Chains A and B, each alone.
Chain A
Amino acid sequence: MFSFPTFFPLFLLPLLIVVLAVVLYLVFIEDGE
């Protein structure tokens, strides 16, 4: 049903963006937080 060119923009891309946000959230913690 889903070829990669369809699956990538519909599901993988938004998921990757959210994962990037989570990674940045977990890594960039300031001293004293």
Chain B
Amino acid sequence: MGPLSASSFVFYLAIMILIGAVSAKIRTGSLSDFFLGGRKMKDWVVALSAVVSGRSAWLVLGMSGMAYTMGLSSVWAVVGYILVELFLFMFMGKRLRRYTQATESITLPDFFEARFKDRLHVLRIISVAIIVVFMVAYVAAQFNAGGKAISASFGLTTTQGLWLTAIIVLAYTMLGGFFAVSITDVVQALFMMLGLVILPAVAIANFGGLGEVLEALRAQEVSLLSPWTIGLIGAVGFLGIGLGSPGNPHILVRYMSSESPQGLRRAALLGTFWNVVMAWGAIFVGLVGRAYFPLKAQLPGADTERLFPHLAAQHLHPVLFGLTVAAVFAAIMSTADSQLLVAASGVTRDIYQKMFRRGKTISERRMVFLSRMAVLLLTFVAIGLGAAGKELVFWLVLFAWGGLGASFGPAVILSLFWKRTTKWGVVAGFVSGTLVTVVWNSTPALRQMLYHLIPAFFISAVLVVLVSLVTRPPEQAERELSEIRPRYRFRSKNV
């Protein structure tokens, strides 16, 4: 990477740190500020923060690589999560936002405990254990990805790259908490959009236009231009990726942070638009990449996940190339920071404040200080895991998106929409979601048949329902859910 590219990349990193420093003075006075932005985040911030927190390097590097290999069949991998997140913004997010404000819940375990009046902390203990383990592993994986990308772009070692990624994320997350993480997410969303629109546009134009690209693909393999080559089960498996979104706490807290529940309607529009453009940008990168490099061996290390930076280096001005490398980091950091903060909230809010020091008064200032220390501690745990336990991290991340989706997804949705849901139903959902994910993934025949999240999500949902039906529901559920139900204008008698 030349000096111009390096300068534009350093410019991006400087913006991140600056946002952290400024945010530290704006909204970090209380625990709700530090972990939820004081529930005062604007619609457009929530929209962009929610979509980029959910899209890691998987979108920029993985998805473009998948489109390179599979062609148009890869679209099904993005359709599922975009539609599910539209539902979350539009319907579930509003209820979650209202309920968590009414009960002063800051974290997802807070929400479960409040919803089921769980004085024994059964739900808190199980959910915080799942969250901390999976989130820290997830952060470690993001740091590893950052390390690899830095080493590929700047000639540093992977370990040096890992440290650099971790220190930047640590700096702004520790300083500015949720506010900094959300505002950096907005900037990162802009960088990702820039990279995913400019690169395919320039590369396609340089090839002679989209018609030429498609002709080149047709000449290579006709099946690249059909979305049906993976078959129905393959398409359903891809669509099932979307079932992870309602259960991943680093995405859910975005909806909880909104300034107003009604604002999520506007966030739905912007978030969906952003999701669509980023996803199809990655798909176009894969398709045009395949036109340029018909053989995998033509890519660095024969690795399809290196297509994006490789294509950018060949087609973009050095400044723009630096910015597209920044887009890869934006994808990595916007996910890592949100996950780090959620894991830290599990330690300070759920374990320390709500269990060890229950009933004792601790000043907000002290809690914010402890939260910053938790961010610091967990960053080092993630660095250690990322550096030393690569296999463990790979194993945990394999289960993370699906495991969290299956364990929490049905439980959260049913808790918000079905008054009959009970505490033990939710416990059954947590346990079965995690167990089916692990068993399915560990059984080669099952793994090859269908993506684990689909059976795990449905079995978890069925068990939440069945166990709820045979146990006693919380008494106030009907009233509470009626209070958070949105009243739509088209149902109003006055219209």
6 contacts across the A-B interface (CB closer than 8 A) = A6-B214, A17-B276, A18-B272, A21-B269, A27-B488, A28-B91
Residues of A close to B86: CB separation below 8 A: 17, 20-21, 24
Q: Using a Cβ–Cβ cut-off of 8 Å, how many residues does chain A contribute to the interface with B?
A: 23
A2 and B211 alpha carbons, distance in the complex (Å): 8
Interface of chain A residues 1 through 33 with chain B (CB within 8 A): 1-3, 5-6, 8-10, 13-14, 17-18, 20-22, 24-25, 27-31, 33
| Cα of A30 to Cα of B279 in the assembled complex, Å | 30
Which residues of chain A are near B101, meaning CB under 8 Å? none
CB distance from A18 to the nearest CB of B (A): 6
Give residues in A with beta carbon < 8 Å to B: 1-3, 5-6, 8-10, 13-14, 17-18, 20-22, 24-25, 27-31, 33
Chain A residues, Cβ within 8 Å of B214: 1-2, 6
- Provide the residues of chain B in CB contact with A14, threshold 8 Å: 276, 279-280
Closest B residue to A28 by beta carbon equals: B488
Contact of A25 among B75, B268, B280 (CB under 8 A): B268
Across-interface contacts of A28 in B (CB, < 8 A): 90-91, 265, 486, 488
Q: Are B280 and A24 in contact (CB under 8 A)?
A: no
A3 to B225, CA, bound (A): 9
Q: Which residues of B contact A8 (CB under 8 A)?
A: 227
Excluding A18-B273, A25-B266, A30-B265, 16 further A-B contacts by CB distance (< 8 Å) are A2-B214, A5-B226, A5-B228, A6-B214, A10-B72, A17-B276, A18-B272, A22-B269, A24-B90, A28-B91, A29-B488, A30-B488, A30-B489, A31-B487, A31-B492, A33-B265
Q: With A and B bound together, what is the CA distance between A5 and B487 in angstroms?
A: 41
Most chain A CB neighbours (cut-off 10 Å) among B265, B283, B490:
B265
Question: How many whole Å from B36's CB to the nearest CB in chain A?
Answer: 22
Complex partner residue of B227 from A1, A5, A33, CB under 8 angstroms:
A5
What distance in Å separates the Cβ of B43 from its nearest Cβ neighbour in chain A?
12
Contacting pair B269 A5 (CB below 8 A): no
Report, nearest first, the 3 A-B pairs whose CB atoms are least far apart.
A21-B272, A9-B227, A9-B75
Q: CB of B79 within 8 A of chain A? A: yes
What is the predominant secondary structure among interface residues of chain B facing chain A? helix
- Determine whether B341 belongs to the interface, using a CB cutoff of 8 Å to chain A: no
Q: Report the separation of the CA atoms of residues A29 and B487 in the bound assembly, to the nearest whole angstrom.
A: 8
Chain A residues within an 8 Å CB radius of B279: 14
The yes or no answer to B262 lying at the interface (CB within 8 A) is yes
Q: A22 — which chain B residues lie within 8 A by C-beta?
A: 269
- Chain A residue nearest to B224 (CB atoms) is A6
A17 and B82 contacting across the interface, CB-CB below 8 Å: yes
B487:A30 contact, CB within 8 angstroms: yes
| Distance A14 CA – B86 CA, assembled complex (angstroms) | 13
- The reply to whether B276 and A18 contact each other, CB–CB distance below 8 Å, is yes
Interface code B195-215, partner A: CB below 8 Å = 1, 0 otherwise?
Answer: 000000000000000010010
Contact digits for B236-271, partner A, Cβ 8 Å, 1 yes 0 no: 000000000000000000000000001001101100
Contact between chains at B79 and A13 (CB < 8 Å): yes
Q: A28 CA to B92 CA in the complex, in Å?
A: 13
- A8–B76 Cα distance when bound, in Å, is 12
Q: Which of A9, A18, A21, A24 contacts B72 (CB 8 A)?
A: A9
Does B83 sit at the interface, judged by CB under 8 A? yes
Residues in A whose Cβ lies below 8 Å from that of B228: 5
A31 to chain B, nearest CB (A): 5
Contacts of A27 in B (CB 8 A): 488, 490
